Amino acid sequence: MDITPMLAAAQRERPFDDSAFLFEPSIDGHRLLLEFRGGKPKLFTRHRNDVTRQYPELHNVPVREPVDVVLDGEVACVDPATGTVQFQWLMDRYRLRREPSIRDAKKLFPVRYFVFDLLFYNGMDLRKAPLWLRKRLLDALLENNDFFVKIHFADGTGTNLFQEIQQLGLEGMVGKRKDSPYTAGKSESWLQVTNAV
């Protein structure tokens, strides 16, 4: 399935509050679409590079029932000692091609998939559904574990979330309109706020 990811079209200089928006932290990783059909995963970058082999820890998708789904999110490596995201570790994982190296890296530098959207569910295309509904379905469907995390979001209160993001040294946040459908490419419904650290 050829899906062009939705992207933030505009940059805001300051965090903001707006009841029409959900706010999520930006993760310093790379975009990942996960297609899970018939119990078999396929993992793709935003440019449709197949990275299924590189991230074997993401092959067991923790869904609450047997389903076919397409998820959207960000994959990253998190330092277990500090809890900080390590972008260089992820790039090292991404470049691996040999099975023994991938197996070793899975133990030493495991990835975590921060899931923020549900695009397909048992053959139903959810991209025209509003974001708030896709979030609700995702929450009911996917369980968190060591490798999969439904990304935390704040409803309407971007300034408080941004303060937490600054304290944690994260990349920034994205404000997303609750009523927005999922559209290909850049959209004015998603607004990026960068943490200048």
Domain of 48? Answer: 6-194
Looking at the domain assignment, is residue 185 inside a domain?
yes
Q: How many residues does the chain have?
A: 197
The full DSSP string for 69-123 is EEEEEEEEEB-TTT--B-HHHHHHHHH--SHHHHHHHHHHS-EEEEEEEEEEETT
pLDDT digits (tens, 9 = 90+) for 4-45: 999 998 888 899 999 999 999 999 999 999 999 999 999 999
Give the per-residue pLDDT at 37: 93
Give the per-residue pLDDT at 107: 87
- Quick one: three-class SS letters along 39-66? CEEEEECCCCCECCCCCHHHCCCCECCC
Looking at the domain assignment, is residue 1 inside a domain?
no
pLDDT digits (tens, 9 = 90+) for 67-85: 999 999 999 998 888 878 8
Domains held by the chain: number:
1
* CATH, residue 120: 3.30.470.30
Is a pLDDT exceeding 90 seen at residue 168? no
